[in-house]
Structure 1
């Protein structure tokens, strides 16, 4: 369930950090920091989806 959100956040973060070459400060927000936060949240969401899916499979088996 979270894997789609994780991939989306990961891609958005990667685009902001590595592909965006404009002004990295918009309205007092550091876009590079927001990009790195999105990358970390995306990876955590993907890992969480695998952990929840694995736990569900082991519980349903018995």
Structure 2
């Protein structure tokens, strides 16, 4: 779940919880709103943890091997 989806869930949950006052078929929209907001916050935290891991820098401690390239000078250039 991305940041945008998490923010969308939080917004929809807040609308259902605080802006509407209705019950549909015995289901309270307040409870559905709180559940959506909790899912959005959880998704936001999980996304932040995943993005935080991507920013870690990996360093190598082993030395880099270098090859010496020799240039031959005894060959005449092409005509």
The TM tier, using the shorter chain, reads 0.7 to 0.9
**How many Å apart are 1:28 and its aligned residue?**
2.5
Deviation beyond 4 Å, 4+ runs, structure 1: none
Partner of 1:8: 8
**Which runs of 5 or more residues in structure 2 are unaligned?**
59-79
In structure 1, list runs of 5 or more residues that go unmatched: none
RMSD in angstroms over aligned alpha carbons? 1.2
How many residue pairs get aligned? The number is 58
Match of 1:27 in 2: 25
For 2:25 and 2:53, the matched residues in 1 are separated by: 43
**Partner deviation per Cα, 1:4-62 (whole Å, 9 max, x = no partner):** 110000000000101113x2x2123221110000010011111111100001111xx21
**The structure with more helix, counted as a fraction of residues:** 1
State the structure with bigger RCO (CA 8 A, min sep 6), 1 or 2.
Answer: 1
Taking the aligned partners of 1:28 and 1:55, their CA distance within structure 2 comes to 43
TM-score, structure 2 as length reference: 0.67
